[in-house]
Structure 1
Amino acid sequence: MSARLHATKTRTALRTSARLSAELLLVLVMAAVALWILGRMWPVVWPLVVGLFLTTLTWPVARFLRKRGWPPALAASVVTVLFLLVVGGIVALIAVPVASQSGQLTDGVIAGIQKLRAWAAGPPLNIDDAQISHALDAGIDRIQNSLGSTVTTVVTGLSTVVNGVVTAVLAVFLMFFFLKDGPRFLPWLTRQLPGRLATDIPTVAERGWDTLGSFVRSQAFVGMLDAVFIGLGLWILGVPLVLPLAVLTFVSAFVPIIGALFAGFVAVLIALVSNGLTDAIIVLVIIIVVQQLEGNVFQPMIQSRGLGLHAAVVLLAVTLGGSLAGIVGSLLAVPAAGLVAVVWSYVREQLSDQPQEPETEDGPPGDAVVPS
């Protein structure tokens, strides 16, 4: 009797495991299909993503104007024009000098790598220079082969520029409509969805919006602080290309962990080539101090800066995103991981014995679509 009961329990456990495995496999297949569809729709999805990022940065100003009684269309128009003026000023004052010095920045990085290569070839590492040269030559050959003919390269470059301009224009228009009509989205979505979905999806969308806005604004603020302090340190030491390095530091802040390491590595290489080993060590110390201040001082002062993700999860997400979609994947990996964490947290709440009620703010329902 005991053996029969044990066999029954074993079969039940196997059936349960098989059912869970089949369900997990189905989820993975559906995720793969969703990613494939996303890739096919990327020319439309990418401007939408950029428009959402821009909206998270500009919404506080639009919300301020709307609370002062401005009509939504007028507030969105003013904020959009101000945004374009600010971007135009940045392009005129920063991007043009940075572009003019980009060649020097590239040459400096290459020279720094050559110095490191020469140092690695000597004691105590004694790495065979022939092996290093072979690896570099293989990488260069692969890049050259992937580029194809000169005509193809030129056409690809022109196509990239045109696509970038189209994406920017679409993103600005979408930002305007998000600023103007965004607070109406969740009530409209609630009316369109049946049954429990009318509660679940708007709640997850609201939390996801809060998470996305918190990440973008906090990373922009921290990136600005890093760029200012590190740029001042480079300027005091007399390191060249201060402005390009400061801009690189700011942009790299949107890729947590990896971005800071990359920007710091470039700054140290430039200091090593131009000013010598002593100044390079000083630059490294400045970067470490600024990063420590960011983690221990700036971060507690900025409300809701983090996404609630462990540093190891962030690192793995950035690595996976970069391997799948290059720079764009690295930029979107952490926000995507944060949104996945939001969905999982909500599902876990609903499956628990005592599900937590979603936090709501006082005010009209339409205001829930955007963070305060």
Structure 2
Amino acid sequence: MAVSQASGPGGLNTARTRAAVRATARLSAEMLLILLLTGVALWILGRMWSVVWPLTVALLITTLTWPPARWLRKHGWKPALAASAVTVGFLLLAGGILVGIAVPVAAQSDELTDGVVDGIQQLRDWAAGPPLNIGDDQITSAIDTAVAKLQSSIGSVVTATVTGVGSVVNAVVTIVLALFLMFFFLKDGPGFLPWLSRQLPGRLATDVPEVAGRSWATLGAFVRSQAFVGMLDAVFIGLGLWIVGVPLVLPLAVLTFVTAFVPIVGALFAGLVAVLIALVFKGLTAALVVLGIIVLVQQLEGNVFQPMVQSRGLGLHAAVVLLAVTLGGSLAGIVGSLLAVPVAAVLAVGWRYVREQLGDGPA
């Protein structure tokens, strides 16, 4: 006859209860250890950010420039020559984009200045009429008050200016370093995984290069999908500007495409510029129409195009893409929004690989 195990109050099995409590405590301790190690890793990452950020930018740019470099290598070009040609071509393309934006704007700078002055005068005339009935004396008083506040906070303005100059210098250093890293990635990239495999012991020599290769493919899918979404934005917004009759359509479309790689702020900046130019050259009604077009396209991009394209290219559900962007933006601002989706995709790659190794095969 089997001997029944002792039961505690309420008929609970004492041995099983203790085992469940121990398992829960052990799991909780392991989770706390994982969170602690994650926090330490993030702290180290923050301390090394001046190196990590240019490295990240270089990797993202390399995913765009690697296909032409690979094509040149397949057609007999030496790695260094192919990398040099692609790097120079990338710089010429980036410079051409800047010139394509700057030259038309400079050519119409006088009209733009006159339009801004006229626009300000129109706003003053509108404010002076009903229902606001704001007179010139009130406007002048408001301007004087703003100037007084500006003079009283001149120290803060100087500090902010110095900080802004420092940010610009850091951005230039980051871009230059990223370009140099991109050149070396294009030149020596194919040999990285074999080299990494030789440096690692045992099972890691197989697992780490495999995950790294899959992560590289995932980053390429992210950048290509972002470029595709930016192209959709540029085409639709540019078409809307052309229909309304706003000048500088091509520079504004190019600006929309370029800023699409900077989530949230990039779209806001490009939209603000387009609305301002519409207001200056075509009036308030055209500016409101342009604003409506931009809002519509941005809503379609954020809620339809981007989640669909990125979810297919990255193997992530559209809801995961939206949540990742929201979380990244809340944690690290613009940089967090930019890196949230590729980081989530790389984590998903690692998770799927672990499942494959623990299971019977690919999920």
TM over 0.5, shorter chain: yes
When residues 151 and 255 of structure 1 are mapped into structure 2, their CA distance, relative to the original with a 3 A threshold, is closer
For the 8 Å contact 2:222–2:310, the answer to whether it is kept is no
Structure 1 position 15 matched with structure 2 position 22: yes
Cross-structure match for 1:367: none
When residues 347 and 45 of structure 1 are mapped into structure 2, their CA distance, relative to the original with a 3 A threshold, is same
Structure 1 position 326 matched with structure 2 position 330: no
1:190-201 matches, cutoff 5 A: 190-201=197-208
Cross-structure match for 2:354: 347
| Structure 1 position 261, deviation (Å) | 7.4
Amino acid in structure 1 at the alignment position of 2:241: L
**In structure 1, distance between residues paired with 2:312 and 2:102:** 27
Secondary structure, in 3 states, of the residue corresponding to 2:202?
coil
Cross-structure match for 2:238: 231
Deviations 1:21-44 (A, max 9, x none): 111111111111111111111111
Give 1:59's match in structure 2, choosing from 56, 66, 81: 66
Secondary structure, in 3 states, of the residue corresponding to 1:306?
helix
| Structure 1 position 325, deviation (Å) | 2.1
Amino acid in structure 1 at the alignment position of 2:354: V
For the 8 Å contact 1:223–1:251, the answer to whether it is kept is yes
| Structure 1 position 338, deviation (Å) | 1.1
Q: Structure 2: which 5+ runs fail to align?
A: 132-148
Which moves more between the two structures, 160-169 or 303-312?
Answer: 303-312
| Structure 1 position 47, deviation (Å) | 0.7
Which moves more between the two structures, 239-248 or 1-10?
Answer: 239-248
**In structure 2, distance between residues paired with 1:61 and 1:327:** 29
For the 8 Å contact 1:98–1:243, the answer to whether it is kept is no
Give 2:218's match in structure 1, choosing from 211, 223, 235: 211
For the 8 Å contact 1:226–1:250, the answer to whether it is kept is yes
Deviations 1:65-89 (A, max 9, x none): 0010111111111111111111111
Q: Structure 1: which 5+ runs fail to align?
A: 123-140, 358-372
Amino acid in structure 2 at the alignment position of 1:37: I
When residues 268 and 47 of structure 1 are mapped into structure 2, their CA distance, relative to the original with a 3 A threshold, is closer
When residues 260 and 325 of structure 1 are mapped into structure 2, their CA distance, relative to the original with a 3 A threshold, is closer
RMSD between aligned residues? 3.9
Amino acid in structure 1 at the alignment position of 2:362: Q
Amino acid in structure 2 at the alignment position of 1:356: P
When residues 7 and 243 of structure 1 are mapped into structure 2, their CA distance, relative to the original with a 3 A threshold, is farther
Deviations 1:135-194 (A, max 9, x none): xxxxxx9xx98x962332232122112111111111111000000000000001111111
For the 8 Å contact 1:231–1:246, the answer to whether it is kept is yes
Give 1:178's match in structure 2, choosing from 181, 185, 192: 185
Cross-structure match for 2:314: 307
| Structure 1 position 297, deviation (Å) | 8.9
Cross-structure match for 1:250: 257
For the 8 Å contact 1:239–1:275, the answer to whether it is kept is no
For the 8 Å contact 1:62–1:179, the answer to whether it is kept is yes
Question: TM-score, normalized by length of structure 1?
Answer: 0.73
Cross-structure match for 2:35: 28
**In structure 2, distance between residues paired with 1:98 and 1:33:** 48
Which moves more between the two structures, 170-179 or 226-235?
Answer: 226-235
When residues 201 and 72 of structure 1 are mapped into structure 2, their CA distance, relative to the original with a 3 A threshold, is same
RCO higher in 1 or 2 (8 Å CA, sep ≥ 6)? 1
Question: TM-score, normalized by length of structure 2?
Answer: 0.74
When residues 299 and 252 of structure 1 are mapped into structure 2, their CA distance, relative to the original with a 3 A threshold, is same
Secondary structure, in 3 states, of the residue corresponding to 1:355?
coil
When residues 252 and 25 of structure 1 are mapped into structure 2, their CA distance, relative to the original with a 3 A threshold, is farther
Cross-structure match for 1:356: 362
**In structure 1, distance between residues paired with 2:161 and 2:293:** 42
1:249-328 matches, cutoff 5 A: 249-254=256-261, 262=268, 266=272, 275-276=283-284, 280=288, 284=292, 288=296, 306-328=313-335
Cross-structure match for 2:165: 158
CA radius of gyration, larger in: 2
**In structure 2, distance between residues paired with 1:269 and 1:91:** 20
Q: Percent identity?
A: 65
**In structure 2, distance between residues paired with 1:173 and 1:39:** 22
When residues 255 and 152 of structure 1 are mapped into structure 2, their CA distance, relative to the original with a 3 A threshold, is closer
Amino acid in structure 1 at the alignment position of 2:7: A
Cross-structure match for 2:135: none
Cross-structure match for 1:222: 229
**In structure 2, distance between residues paired with 1:254 and 1:6:** 59
Amino acid in structure 2 at the alignment position of 1:17: T
Give 1:167's match in structure 2, choosing from 174, 181, 197: 174
For the 8 Å contact 1:268–1:281, the answer to whether it is kept is no
Cross-structure match for 1:76: 83
